[in-house]
A and B are shown apart, each in its own frame.
Chain A
Amino acid sequence: NAGVTQTPKFQVLKTGQSMTLQCAQDMNHEYMSWYRQDPGMGLRLIHYSVGAGITDQGEVPNGYNVSRSTTEDFPLRLLSAAPSQTSVYFCASSPRARSSYNSPLHFGNGTRLTVT
């Protein structure tokens, strides 16, 4: 019972490098989202998707791109990494497109990213 799987668990990048954080869920959930977690800031929503082919911006979308070509996968792309993107990134999914209203989020275990 895999749930939400994030890879890699840890990553170190140099400023200007690009990379993709992977997120996959095997629960046939419609809703998927990316959060970043920073000390003293809690969780902030980066991007979310209510279904394949549909994405939308959250609170802090700048510097990140997403796509949702399948129900299962929701990768997060950093095109040109900056030290301000050092954070722990969480992917989360929910059964229905109505995000978490009466329908809780299932979280992955996170990716810890350091940009030097």
Chain B
Amino acid sequence: GNSVTQMEGPVTLSEEAFLTINCTYTATGYPSLFWYVQYPGEGLQLLLKATKADDKGSNKGFEATYRKETTSFHLEKGSVQVSDSAVYFCALSESGNTPLVFGKGTRLSVIA
């Protein structure tokens, strides 16, 4: 079946540090890939997505590139801020009426 594996957290960084959160996936077909973010006390919200190989999703300074050859969708940001402290979830969805499959989430704490 389909699955998503994320790096375990928590991740603690100083403000303006470079961020990478690794995500790899297993899928039988050609999924769409997503990163969702959950700020404290809130539900998840979509951060970025990519729907085919070599696509790059980007939003709020975050980027992730759909790499079919390595089945990966790593999240990066060049300079994190305290306000980026949240839990980040990688997810995939194949075509059709198939629900999203989420990774376990990675908690990021950014300290000033």
Task: Give the nearest-CB partner of B41 in chain A.
Answer: A109
- The answer to whether A53 has its CB under 8 Å from any CB of chain B is no
For A102, list chain B residues within 8 Å (CB): 32, 49, 51
Interface hits, B26-50 → A, CB 8 Å: 32, 34, 36, 41-46, 49
User: Are A98 and B97 interface neighbours, CB within 8 A?
Assistant: yes
Q: How far is B2's CA from A45's CA once the two chains are assembled, in angstroms? A: 14
With known contacts A42-B103, A42-B104, A107–B44 Cβ distance under 8 A: yes
Contacts of B41 in A (CB 8 A): 109
B interface, size bucket: 20 to 34
**Would you call B73 an interface residue if the criterion is a C-beta within 8 Å of the partner chain's C-beta atoms?**
no
Find out whether the CB atom of B96 lies under 8 angstroms from the CB atom of A33.
Answer: no
Q: For residues 24 through 41 of chain A, which have their beta carbon under 8 Å from a beta carbon of chain B?
A: 33, 35, 40-41
Interface size of A as a range: 20 to 34
Instruction: Name the CB-closest residue of A to B4.
Output: A42
Cross-interface CB contact of B43 among A33, A90, A99, A101, cutoff 8 Å: A90
Complex alpha-carbon distance, A109 and B42, angstroms = 5
In the complex where A97-B97, A102-B51 touch, is A43 in contact with B89 (Cβ < 8 A)?
yes
Bound CA–CA A104/B49 (angstroms): 9
Alpha-carbon distance between A4 and B42 when the two chains are bound, in angstroms: 12
Q: How far is the CA of A17 from the CA of B100 in the complex (A)?
A: 31
Assess the B93–A92 pair: CB atoms within 8 A: no
For the complex, is B84 an interface residue (Cβ under 8 Å from A)? no
6 new A-B contacts at CB < 8 Å, known A104-B46, A107-B45: A42-B89, A48-B99, A100-B32, A100-B93, A101-B32, A109-B42
Pairs across A and B, CB under 8 Å, 18 listed: A33-B99, A42-B102, A42-B103, A42-B105, A45-B99, A48-B99, A50-B97, A98-B97, A99-B93, A99-B100, A100-B91, A101-B93, A101-B94, A104-B34, A104-B49, A105-B44, A106-B45, A109-B42
